[in-house]
Structure 1
Amino acid sequence: MTANHTPHPPSERVIDLEAVGRRPSMEADRRAPLLTAGDPLADAVIAELDLYGAKARQALDSGLRKGLAGLDERPPEAVAALLKHVETTPSRVDPLMLHRGDAVSLSVPPLWFGLCVITGALAHTCTSPATARLLIPTDRPMPTVSRRLTETGVWARQAIRPGGLLRGGPGYVATVDARLRHARMRAASLSDRETGIPGLPVGQLDLARTWLGFTLTGFQALTAVGIEITAEEESRLYQYWSYVAHLLGLDESLYKDVADHAGARRLHDLLSTMTAAPDDASRAAAAAMIGAQARATAHAPGAVLSEEQLEDLIRCVLRQSLGITAADRLGIRDVPAATDLMPLISTLNRQARYWQTFSPASARAARRQAAEEPGTASEPIAAVLPLGVALQHAGVQRSGTPAA
């Protein structure tokens, strides 16, 4: 099911592209309306939450956990429409797949899932200047990016867990909550247009870029450290994440034909022709994200690499997963050969991966260990709190402006 994504008025982003000589292809030209398209269902819910307050928030929270049919009284119109949309499971989705969870992502050791997939996804998001400015304010990049890393990591873990995306499950609730936080950010960006934020951040194309971060970019990063998946696993990965895209409110035309990395690369190339080059805000966000991830990993129990070594490792991974040109534009510098741990790490991971997937029993054990990793379901985070509390935790007020 695809919502009608009504574009906002033409944005400065389109003008920016023409000014820097980025001539869109015919396909990009056809997709141009999505440059300023938001998510009408979620955007309407945000307006309704501001209008009706606690009553609408309680109806939404209960509806996400119990289902629309389980509510004692009819919720406000926009809340009902959103619940109907997320509860309408596309016919192509296999219910058994949702019970199993994202078995491909669960086969990745939690350390590497965090360093490669989470970091890669956020770095890919930062390539959009408009979104980088909104997600990671330049006046306080480190505290903000640390929170983003935590929120994104916990959300992803909830989304891939067995049964996590079943109606009312923690990943289902967290994903719809993420969708609404995107809508809240859009509301803030529209009110801030005259203050220098170009275009419509966290719109349809930016959302597609984030989605690619957890499929194409994240798994390219894993390949860089020696964790490769088969063609069959690749297909299962995109089947699962197509349902995540549905819950996130991504326009179906952007992902319905993406069934593997090859299709994802075509979408990635399309987005690249329609996005202005990374700017200082993008580079500041990327640098803060690399530093925050390295610091968190270095201070985690059992860490064996220093913060400096981890920063070098993350830079190596991002340069290979994003591509050298894109990494240079993001200010992700190369690492001297003498400190490059990638060859050794890749060899060790390939050997570990071989034995991990040697038999169905060993593969199941690895997925079970990843799904039961401490902290993935118990940490308090905005994604699983009632929406009113979640928005405060995420750093935005109900008025639609960033909290101080």
Structure 2
Amino acid sequence: MKMKAVSQKALRCAVVLAVALVTAVALPAQNKPYPTAAQLAPTPPMGWNSWNHFAGKVDEADVRAAAKAMVDSGMAAAGYKYIVIDDTWQGKRDAQGFIHPNSKFPDMPGLIQYVHSLGLKFGIYSSPGPQTCAGYEGSYGHVQQDAETYARWGVDYLKYDLCSYLGIMHKEAANNPAKALAMQQAAYLKMYKALAAAGRPIVFSLCQYGIGDVWKWGPSVGGNLWRTTGDIQDNYARMATIGFGQAGLAKYAGPGHWNDPDMLEVGNGGMTNEEYRTHMSLWALLAAPLIAGNDLSHMSPATLAILTNREVIAVDQDRLGREGDRVSKNGALEIWAKPLTGGAKAVGLFNRDTQPHSMTLQLSVVNFPPHAHLRDLWRHKTVHAHHGAYTVTVPAHGVVLLKLTR
């Protein structure tokens, strides 16, 4: 009888220990400090977002296919890791106020588990307003509940779109810009604090179109990246307006805090491959998040080659964390440069004209000696300067992207 009693006691202890272990795994650790911005996003996030190609038609099958294609295509191996569902996933709230996905996403936790099983991370979308841009349920009045839901599901990235909260700002702040800005900042800070309280590390993407010079205050509300412009479109004119319009913002970016000129349109069909190389090169020089927006399941070899050019990606992901800026502008011809680790530098020669042009890079302009080593990152070959200058013909709407080392 005594031995039996001891066995039962041991069994009870084992059960208690097992429950404690399961709880420790299932729930975020509340006693650990929330990661710093530099820990959450030490380099610009890389991944895929559903909006540019699928918009409101996206469903679970599309997202699963994108995740699988990211791995199978080699994009994951090249550095892409976030699979982000944009607008239109939200369903209704239950009696307690917790959000549930709609019928397009019948098993959100299962979908997230699948994405994680591939070695990828998962992102989701909401708004501080009552509704999202597409008219779905926003987080207004339910910020803490939504943060807890995201943590429970296993979300790793949140895109938080101002959308209908703009109407609230305009109504309550009327013609008082300072009050409107304070309201916007408070709304983003509220979600950041809720995410931190929920305990799961989640990269926080501020989508508010650059309103109020967000690059000046984004870090103070927990932002890891912030949109600096309105929405991109899949055409050269809009891409160029946004990309080249980033001049002067470099000092506001760094590890954990990135200027975001919106997602990539590479492969969506509205530009030539030359223009898409310009798009990719410019975003890399800008240390911008590389968030693909095409159908990953149906990519041409050319599209895949652009998105997975590791030498170009290395410029974007350089650990120094410096954003590039414009060095010179001569009509439609622009030279941009980005400092890299070890004293190297990436230099882009951009031709915004509709005709090819010869361009010359004087190495002294970017503070390099005459006999520096030059590598063409799209042609994957070493090129040579003569008497301290490198001259090359740049295609219409094209780019020559170089890496200079001493």
Give your verdict on TM over 0.5: no
TM-score (norm 1): 0.24
Task: Report the TM-score, using the length of structure 2 for normalisation.
Answer: 0.24
Which one scores higher on RCO, CA 8 angstroms, separation ≥ 6?
1
Larger radius of gyration: 2
Higher helix share: 1
- Hey, which of these two has a bigger chunk of strand by percent? 2
